[in-house]
């Protein structure tokens, strides 16, 4: 589960960086890429970001369920 969380955080960072790059290209009046292509890249990375955020939420839920099943009263947010 820890690896899943790490991969998801890495995915969040990568998606965020890709959106920033696409936004930079869109704002460049001398861009070499099409506006459509950059907007599509932004939408794809928005979806990737949401998917990785869901992985984090699901991983957290799984950890809480596992700790409950083991009868531990441990706060994983600490």
Q: Tell me the pLDDT of the chain (78 aa) as tens digits.
A: 678 889 999 999 999 999 999 999 999 999 888 999 999 999 999 999 999 999 999 999 998 898 888 886 656 565
What is the C-alpha radius of gyration for the chain, rounded to an integer number of angstroms?
18
pLDDT at 70: 85
Please tell me the pTM assigned to this model: 0.77
pLDDT at 77: 62
pLDDT at 1: 67
Exposed e or buried b for every residue in 14-53, given b needs 16+ CB within 10 A? Answer: ebeebbeebeebeeeeeeeeeeeebeebbeebeebbeebe
pLDDT at 22: 94
pLDDT at 2: 77
């Amino acid at each position: 589960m820890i690896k899943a969380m790490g991969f998801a955080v890495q995915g969040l960072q990568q998606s965020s960086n890709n959106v920033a790059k696409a936004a930079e290209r869109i704002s460049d009046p001398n861009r070499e890429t099409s506006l459509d292509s950059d907007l599509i890249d932004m939408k794809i990375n928005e979806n990737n970001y949401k998917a990785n955020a869901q992985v984090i939420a699901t991983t957290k839920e799984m950890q809480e369920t596992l700790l409950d099943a083991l009868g531990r009263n441990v706060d994983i947010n600490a």
